[in-house]
Structure 1
Amino acid sequence: MRRTPLRMAALATAALLALAACGSGDDDSGDGAGSGGSTVSDATIQAALEKGGNLTVWAWEPTLKEVVTKFQAKYPNVKVNLVNAGTGNDQYTALQNAIAAGKGVPDVAQIEYYALPQFALAKSVDDLKKYGAESLNSTFTPGPWASVNTAGGTYGIPMDSGPMALFYNKEVFDKHSIKVPTTWAEYLDAARKLHKADPKAYITSDMGDAGFTTSLIWQAGGKPFKVDGTNVTIDFSDAGSKEFVSTWQQLISEKLLAPINGWSDQWYQGLGDGTIATLATGAWMPANFVTGVPKASGKWRVAPMPQWQAGGNASAENGGSSLAMPVKGGNKELAYGFMKYANVDEGVQIRLDGGAFPATSADLKSEKFLATEFPYFGGQKANEIFAESAQDVVSGWSYLPFQVYANSIFNDTVGKAYVSSTTLQDGLNSWQQASAKYGTEQGFSVK
């Protein structure tokens, strides 16, 4: 469930927002309940599951394969076509194009939390309150639940979450007598000590990533995006943004960050050979270590996120997805039944067994989950750290209603700070201006 910069979304975003006029009243492709009208009862949903039919689900999350297998075993009259239409932006582009064309739209789609408001704004996904989703608020942790609730509706069911933690190479830290940092000031000192001891080694890699940047600002208490209907405020002069800039600019200026893009072959190599010593990211990361960096098993450990203020316990989300129902999809009751099975009922444990990180409060508190030992991390019970992080996510964060587009231009604005004399603050200001210009062109009142 990684977060990567979206480079192509600008081509499709205007088309998505233009679909705002194409709400459920124009939907003639579905054969179930639309987003309006009376509430659909649990009995009606169960009857749809028993009756069966065909479902098309677009998702890239690997544990859903086993969910589909067991779902079909429980409901043998249902046939699920699980399609990997691409990861993140690739799928969003395909989904936007299918919606615009009015054909080939899936019944269920995986949509990351940061992207969901844009689809909700365009009225291209159903408000799930009609199906009783509003009653699930106590089922999920606050961060993911807040992420699927926007503009007065519930537009997805949380599938997982990405409370942040610091993954660090214990072998490298021990070799150079570096203490695991508890604050970002200590993290900066550790970066200096490591690079001085081994010029080939870096505390982490970063070439500019929208998701990572906003997550650290979020953790610092920043709220650069404020949304009230069509009124939007973008302000990177807030205290949290400045807190982030004050530390990260030093890491950039002193060349203490490996100039390597995340998820590249060189990045995996750096994680494996110790030249990239830490990674601050979401709790979904362990499975990627196991499959992507197998030779480093036993060398890495997990620690709580460094704090912006000594003694703090603030965290943020990085990544995570929901399952949503495109308005132009069909089989509504059946689709909702599948989503609930996958994200609320039996499917949750199936996905946990496959290595997913839950968004469900009960699972985060279960003894079995917390006691899980991770051989890759030397037998460490890492879920204890992840679960605590999930409870410490700073409240009040908002994404832009056009965040997909904003992230697509991140490297053209903030990214310049990593490769030129542009400062990080100037890059954020440029991102602010370009995003505001786009929002205004799309009919928002942007301040």
Structure 2
Amino acid sequence: MRIIAAALSGVLAISMAACGGGGGAKNESQAEHSDKTANANAQCQNKVKKPNAEKVTVWAWYPAIQKVVDDYNENHDDIQVCWTNAGQGSPEYTKFNNAIKAKSGGPDIIQLEYEAMPQFVAGAQKHLVDLSKYGMNDHKQEYTEGAWKSVSMGGGNSVYGVPVDLGPFVMYVRQDIFDKYHVKVPTTWKEFEQAGKDLKAAGFDGFLSDWAPNGTAVNPALFAQAGEKVYEYSSKTPDKVGIKLDTPGVQKVLEYWQNLVKEGLVDTTDANTTDWNNNMISGKYAAYVQASWLTGYIKGLDNSSSGNFRIYKAPVWDDSTPQVNQGGSAWAVTDQAKDTKAAASVAHDLFDSDTAQHIGVTDGALFPSWKKQLASDAFKNMQEPFLGNQKPNEVTIPVANAWKGDEFLPFQTYAYDEQTKSFSAIVKKGNDCKETLKTLETKLNNYAKQQGFTTE
């Protein structure tokens, strides 16, 4: 999924009606609907192939999704998918929140990033259907452990989505720059810093990398590498959250980047801005640590840098550093689904065929959550011309298989906005790390309590 790290920060704060925690969050009653004709006049972006069949409405922005929808509709007589692109990320979530308030206008199935899902599950009334009631747990072994934990929100019996894609955390390297200055590609964070010094000493006038102030999701991934789970939320205890930012691991990571900035080795330009785009393609940054979906974004900027980038494993602190992930999304069935059982079936089956998965991986450039794809020689041996015909999945597949999953808050947008301010003060301005983290943790815990959640 080509969602950039800061994408979710634009999502509107969740309304109390949509997310309010507290005792009401334990009410999991949810009506099952079975109206097979309610979507008969639904407007679709795709052309429905069998107009007399039952329609299931889907909101999604996946690349090449129309080809996947057409494949499904061609091979099903009883159900047809009616697809709409309701916006990518935050615009879609805003529309869904509006539909929740209006109690109508939402889709049967919605594409949601893993980090956005908890906001629609916490609350007096859950707005995503627990798919365990429709046999989704029978499909657990089809997906990676990390993807499954993301949609089950803690690994319990409830399942609120069908995983589709992931974002294995890797390092992008301008191979031409490292080769020109005869600098070793780093494998550890200590070597990463040394590479910056070596490049500078050899005459490289750019930066080793960039620490983007608006890089919301990348920071929890960096913290996870240091063994820190900063945000905790489980569907098993929907009125409770955990926020752990004032910890040695988080402090170590932020002080590390703070020091790189002080040394002049790392830039602090916001990601996905015009300046950042120019810096990335012009070779001002020699390396960048990010999810593997960044390939599609960079090559969409300017092909002049084609062949210069390579993917390597992300630097580690030591041999115990876990493999981590940044990003990914799933299909979720909403509580406004007109035929809940049919929607649950489509949510699983839409990407279940070999043809659909092939479209997603090739035309859509999705990194799959499906074990079958990850185990295939075809996927492992795919070459990427933009990466100098490298086989990047030889690097990314082990990361995806080893990732254990993450947790996100029901008010992740607010947390991201606040962490951006605090982390920027530490890394860019040099503020005291421990004191800033302590203040941030207190602020987020207080906000959680105001929203009706208990905190650990």
Asked if TM exceeds 0.5, the reply is yes
Matched-pair contact (CA < 8 Å) for 2:7–2:89 = no
Shift of 1:282: 1.7
**Counterparts of 1:402-417 in structure 2 under 5 Å?**
402-417=411-426
Q: CA deviation at 1:170?
A: 0.3
Q: 2:219 aligns with which of 213, 216, 228?
A: 213
User: Which of 343, 346, 357 is residue 367 of structure 2 equivalent to?
Assistant: 357
Answer with 181-190 or 349-358: which moved more: 349-358
CA contact (8 A) 2:61 2:88 kept: yes
* 1:120 maps to 2:121: yes
- Greater shift, 384-393 or 414-423, is seen at 414-423
Q: CA offset at residue 51 of structure 1?
A: 7.6
Q: C-alpha separation between the residues in 2 aligned to 1:162 and 1:348? A: 16
Cα deviations by residue, 1:208-260 (Å, 9 ceiling, x for unpaired)? 42200000111221122344613333222334323322422212333432232
Any gaps of 5 or more consecutive residues in structure 2? 37-49
Contact 2:169/2:292, CA 8 A, preserved across alignment? yes
Verify the 8 A CA contact 1:208 1:414 in the aligned structure 2: no
1:386-427: CA deviations, max 9, x gaps? 00111232x364322332331233323323334434244444
Residue 389 of structure 2 corresponds to which residue in structure 1? 379
- Provide Cα deviations, 1:41-98, integer angstroms capped at 9, x if missing partner: xxxxxxxx99832232111211322101111211256443322222222221221111
Q: Which SS does the other structure have where 1:249 is aligned?
A: helix
Letter in 1 for 2:225: Q
* Residues 68, 360 of structure 2: 8 Å contact kept: yes
| Native 8 Å contact 2:225 2:324 kept in 1 | yes
Bigger proportion of residues as helix: 1
CA contact (8 A) 2:261 2:267 kept: no
1:270 to 279, 283, 302: 279
CA–CA separation in structure 2 for the residues paired with 1:389 and 1:180 = 19
Aligned partner of residue 276 in structure 1, secondary structure: coil
How many residue pairs are counted as aligned between the two chains? 429
C-alpha spacing 1:8/1:305, structure 2 compared with 1 (3 Å): closer
Distance 2:423 2:16 in 1: 22
TM-score normalized by structure 2? 0.86
Match of 2:61 in 1: 60
Letter in 2 for 1:359: S
Shift of 1:100: 1.2
Structure-2 separation of matches of 1:224 and 1:24:
27
Percent of paired sites with the same residue = 27
Change (3 A) 1:343 1:279: farther
**Corresponding residue for 2:35?**
31
Shift in alpha-carbon separation, 1:189–1:13, aligned structure 2, 3 A? farther
**Aligned counterparts of 1:100 and 1:431: Cα–Cα separation in 2:** 30
Match of 1:233? 242
CA distance in 2 between counterparts of 1:253 and 1:433 reads 27
175-184 vs 311-320, which moves further:
311-320
Give distance in 1, aligned partners of 2:453 and 2:25.
15
Q: Which runs of 4+ in 1 moved over 6 A?
A: 19-24
* Counterpart contact for 2:108–2:337, Cα < 8 Å: yes
The answer as to whether partners of 1:52 and 1:76 remain within 8 angstroms in 2 is yes
Q: Does 1:146 align with 2:156?
A: no
- Of 198, 206, 217, the match for 2:204: 198
Instruction: Tell me how far 1:7 sits from its aligned partner.
Output: 4.0
Cα pair 2:183 2:195 within 8 Å, conserved:
yes
C-alpha distance 401-366 of structure 1, shift in aligned 2 (>3 A): same
Q: Please list, as runs of the form range in 1=range in 2, the aligned pairs for 1:159-170 lying within 5 A after superposition.
A: 159-170=164-175
Q: Provide the rounded CA distance (Å) in 1 between the counterparts of 2:86 and 2:380.
A: 34
* Alignment partner of 1:187 is 2:156: no
CA distance in structure 1 between the partners assigned to 2:444 and 2:369 by the alignment: 30
Following superposition of structure 1 onto structure 2, how do residues 327-338 of structure 1 map, counting pairs within 5 Å?
327-338=335-346
Q: CA RMSD in A?
A: 2.7
Indicate if the aligned counterparts of 1:5 and 1:411 stay in contact, CA closer than 8 A.
no
Give the structure 1 partner of residue 162 of structure 2: 157
Distance apart, 1:261 and its partner CA = 1.6
2:92 matched to 1:91?
yes
Q: 2:327 aligned with 1:298, yes or no?
A: no
Cα pair distance change 1:324/1:333, threshold 3 Å: same
C-alpha contact 1:114 1:404 (8 A) present in aligned 2: no
Alpha-carbon spacing, 1:391–1:415, altered in 2? closer, same or farther (3 Å)? same
- 1:288-330 Cα offsets, whole Å, 9 max, x none, are 2332232211101011111111x45621010000110111232
Alpha-carbon distance between aligned partners in 2 of 1:248 and 1:400, rounded to the nearest angstrom? 25
2:322 matched residue in structure 1: 314
Is the Cα contact below 8 Å between 2:34 and 2:340 reproduced in 1? yes
1:176-208 deviation per Cα after TM superposition (whole angstroms, max 9, x unaligned) = 222111001111122233345333334234224
Structure 1: gaps spanning 5 or more residues: 33-48
**Structure 2: how far apart are the matches of 1:430 and 1:364?**
42
Alpha-carbon distance in 2 for matches of 1:184, 1:219: 11
> Helix, strand or coil: the match of 2:13?
helix
What is the rounded CA distance, in whole Å, between the counterparts of 1:253 and 1:425 in structure 2? 18
The answer as to whether partners of 1:159 and 1:320 remain within 8 angstroms in 2 is yes
The equivalent of 1:223 in structure 2 is 229
Using a 3 Å threshold, how does the CA distance of structure 1 residues 419 and 125 change in structure 2: closer, same or farther? same
Aligned positions of 1:387-406 closer than 5 A = 387-393=397-403, 395=404, 397-406=406-415
Cα distance change on mapping 1:427 and 1:185 into 2, 3 Å: same
Letter of the 2:222 partner, please give it: L
Are residue 284 (structure 1) and residue 285 (structure 2) matched?
no
- Supply the AA of the counterpart residue of 1:324: A
Letter in structure 2 aligned against 1:95: F
SS at match of 1:62: coil
